[in-house]
A and B are shown apart, each in its own frame.
Chain A
Amino acid sequence: MSTADIIARCEALYEDLDFTAARQWKEADPSRKVIAYMPVYVPREIIHAAGMLPLGIMGGGDGLEVIHGDAFYQSYICRIPRSTIELGLSKRMDFVDGMLFPSICDVIRNLSGMWKLMFPGKYVRYFDVPQNYRDNVGGNYYTNELNELREGLEHLSGRKITDEALRASIAVYNENRKLVQDVYGLRSREPWKVPSADVYLLMRAGLVLPVEEHNQMLKDYLAAAVKVEAQKRDNCRVIINGSFCEQPPLNLIKSIELSGCYIVDDDYMIVHRFLRNEVSTAGDPMQNLSLAFLHESISTAAKYDDKEEDKGKYLLEQVRSNAAEGVIFAAPSFCDPALLERPMLADRCSEHKVPYISFKYAENSGQMQPIREQAGTFADSIKLWS
């Protein structure tokens, strides 16, 4: 199978706002249940161990006409909640049995309550995470929260989630994490072979497919990608930061590369890479998930940095390890966490003489010319002056 074949399938999944693949998965066995989740992170292992399908909902993108959703939000609120409501009201998510709203910002937090009011009878959980990373403080709290999630899913599915099932699910997701890292690693090494739009679509597919199927897809892609004959361009290497929640349109990602940049790392759909290393499969699985969150999770604006010196550390490490030449701060309009974080990260970039630019987008941004010009100028300036 060629990379083109794989990506064609991913693109079809990406464009399918009726989530047909997930519907089919559910229809194959009447006892199956689907639990949707919003960005940025939920422990999908627990959902998987319950025999359920975790389904990532990243809003409606640019392919969804938002009609009802806009009636729920003022003009100064980002786009993802309104298109998510549109997905709900238009019955595109009618097969979904439950929804998790992670702790990202006040908008997504409040959306969890809106969901409760709008879709009574559905399992809805605001999935809180600790911002305190000490084992006996934030860790204890988080382990208990994970257990509450476990109990909630057990109640919904009518079956116990055993430790053994959890360990098995952790192992499957460990494999997924490894394969995802491999894809990112390959793109970083040879970005001309692995376009960012491909990586993006591959990861999007991982949000709607069973993890085992995604693992196979990643393996197939990696096997095909190394054989790709592609011309290396004189592009500059950039990191994208600030896009962890509302996703940009695919055209925006393509536009950045067309303007002369290779995206060598990003924070799109970070649920796949939120935990940097393997989660232990020995011992207490809930504690292992908790400890991995505390000590192995990446840095993002939805998290608190305990120490001032940690601010920007992860971004600078991304720059260093990917030999990036610049950072593009690309945040959705009205995204509080990303936009509040940006001045601090920009300061860190300045201190370390890492060039950067900033712009905003919405998931339905249609006009790419200004972004292409800005990114192109940025790339030119790096090539000429850095």
Chain B
Amino acid sequence: MSAKTNPEVIKESSMVKQKGMIAGNYDRLTGTKESGEKVVSTFVPGNLNELIMCFDMVNNLPETNAIQNGMRKQSGGMIMDAEKAGHSEDVCTYVKADIGMMGRGNIAPNGKPMPAPDMLLLSYTGCFTFMKWFELLRHEYKCPTVMLQIPYQGDGKITKNMRDFVVKQLKEEVIPMFEQVSGVKFDIDRLREYLKNSAKAEDNLVWVLESAKNRPSPIDAYFGGVYYIGPMFTAFRGTTDAVEYYDLVRGEIEQRIREGKGPITPEGDMKEEKYRLVVEGPPNWTSFREFWKLFYDEGAVVVASSYTKVGGLYDQGFRHDPNDPLGTLADYCLGCYANNNLPQRVELLEKYMNEYQADGLLINSIKSCNSFSAGQLLMMREIEKRTGKPAAFIETDLVDPRYFSHANVKNRLESYFQMVDQKRSGASLATA
């Protein structure tokens, strides 16, 4: 019998702050009956938090709820409930976890029931499924729904027509609906202030993400990246809390670099950095910690990932611009990673491979996310061809525990790391 380990859990100040921010937001969300605040449900990629704040509304993010339920091992039952109710086994498990959650009383992570949304804001950047998801939610809640259609960058660029279309929808559809539901008049100067906060936080976020160019990398830009990006993605972008949070994170990472430390893992500091990887695709949430462990046990650190860009490609130069409030919201939505076409995605991954001196690319292909997954095998081939570095492919799911096979993933990863080693020894033999 193996001795039980007692892993040291390191909590940095930023982690404590973030935990407080998220808990506070859930308390605010579940307390709207008492506070009288209105709730808007919306999506993570391309979310319009700064705009929502202008109407004093609280945002509820169904994907985040599904993730929370996934990490708490609740989503499996919820998905099966949805399937029993007629939802196909083939479709997005975020959708089914969300629908299954309703059937179980819509309980938030703080144990209190979620309020029904007063409004659905369907801003579906980079994912067609989102459109049907909100039709399903509207079918359930019968509440006002406004859509912000974000055209896809099919030709790898944002055209004037696309941008004008998004701005026009904001002006003529989204803002009037917010005013109507919230009873608050839109104030563009208030939006500018929130956008200023966003830009400040974005500067530090980029600095943190790019710190992974150091050796050893002081962060894990995928598993740990989920932590660092969290506030930017969800209900906090535009707040002073987010600005303070990224100040804190930056300070902590600067300290780690000075000390030559690798990233924090759930079992303490990662000791030796053996493999530097770029990862494409979302993580698995139901076995998140187990999944992460498969990497840090082998000394593998993720130095850049595409998933952490679904909330914006800030590291490629985008910043929210208070001088062009609606235009900048359009640019933001249009520019999110999943709204980029396949060639753009390949170029970005290639860039990451080179800039972060990665040993290889790993694709975590998600069964229920076609937006990410369709085309990934071609992306893998392209990256191998362009960089000469090995790429590998594993398959899991977002929040459906039936599609996480620990043994399979472990086998694949071990083989992959051997492949990286062989490639390295081949390279060193060649140069000897």
Contacts and interface: CB of A to CB of B under 8 A. Distances in A.
Given A112-B154, A117-B343, A137-B168, A340 B91 contact: yes
Contacts of B374: 73, 77, 81, 106-107, 110-111
Interface in A76-97: 76-77, 81
B343 A113 contact: yes
Given A144-B161, A339-B88, A132 B173 contact: yes
Contact of B346 (A117, A127, A132, A138): A117
B173 A337 contact: no
Interface string A187-213: 000000000000000000000000000
Given A116-B341, A126-B155, A137 B165 contact: yes
Interface in A333-386: 333-337, 339-344, 346-347, 360
A106 B128 contact: yes
B378 A72 contact: yes
Contact of A74 (B85, B133, B377): B377
Contact of B139 (A131, A311, A331, A334): A311
Contact-residue size bin, chain B (C-beta under 8 Å from the other chain): 35 or more
B412 interface: no
A76 B135 contact: no
A134 B85 CA distance: 35
A156 interface: no
Nearest to B393: A74
Contacts, number: 169
A236 interface: no
A72 B154 contact: no
B132 interface: yes
Q: Which of B122, B154, B164 has the most CB of A within 10 A?
A: B154
Interface string B144-162: 0101010110110001011
Q: Which of B136, B168, B344, B378 has the most CB of A within 10 A?
A: B378
Contact-residue size bin, chain A (C-beta under 8 Å from the other chain): 35 or more
Given A118-B378, A304-B135, A340-B133, A126 B88 contact: no
Q: Which of B88, B147, B152, B341 has the most CB of A within 10 A?
A: B88
A71 interface: yes
Q: Which of B133, B149, B367, B375 has the most CB of A within 10 A?
A: B375
Interface in B361-411: 365, 367-368, 370-371, 373-378, 382, 395
A141 B161 contact: yes
Contact of B341 (A118, A126, A340): A126
A308 to B, nearest CB: 5
A76 B90 contact: yes
Interface string B309-344: 000000000000000000000000000000001111
Interface in A118-135: 118, 125-128, 130-132, 134
A137 B172 contact: yes
A111 B132 contact: no
B27 to A, nearest CB: 31
A212 B342 CA distance: 37
Contacts of B371: 106, 109-110
A24 B107 CA distance: 63
A80 B172 CA distance: 38
Contacts of A131: 131, 147, 149
Contacts of B423: none
B370 A336 contact: yes
Contact of B128 (A117, A336, A344): A336
B86 interface: yes
A106 B92 CA distance: 12
Q: Which of B133, B164, B168, B395 has the most CB of A within 10 A?
A: B168
A386 to B, nearest CB: 21
B378 A114 contact: yes
B163 to A, nearest CB: 10
B383 to A, nearest CB: 12
B378 A343 contact: no
Interface in B170-201: 172-173
A154 interface: no
Given A77-B370, A336-B370, A339-B88, A105 B128 contact: yes
Interface string A209-242: 0000000000000000000000000000000000
Interface in A124-178: 125-128, 130-132, 134, 136-138, 140-141, 144-145, 148
B173 A308 contact: no
A339 B86 contact: no
A301 interface: yes
A336 B152 CA distance: 18
B169 interface: yes
Nearest to B86: A343
A103 interface: yes
Nearest to A131: B149
A18 interface: no
A305 interface: yes
A336 B344 CA distance: 24
Nearest to B90: A334
A340 B147 contact: no
A130 B168 CA distance: 13
Contact of B342 (A114, A137, A145): A114
Contacts of B161: 141, 144-145, 148
Contacts of A101: 154
Minimum-distance CB pairs A-B, first 8: A113-B342, A126-B154, A340-B132, A141-B165, A339-B88, A106-B370, A113-B341, A110-B375
26 contacts: A73-B377, A74-B395, A77-B374, A104-B128, A105-B128, A106-B129, A106-B371, A109-B152, A110-B371, A110-B374, A112-B341, A114-B378, A117-B382, A131-B131, A132-B173, A134-B173, A136-B168, A140-B165, A304-B131, A304-B149, A336-B370, A339-B88, A340-B95, A342-B88, A343-B86, A360-B90
Given A111-B374, A336-B129, 18 more contacts: A74-B395, A106-B370, A107-B370, A109-B128, A112-B154, A112-B341, A113-B342, A114-B378, A117-B382, A125-B154, A140-B165, A305-B135, A306-B147, A311-B139, A331-B88, A336-B90, A340-B129, A346-B86
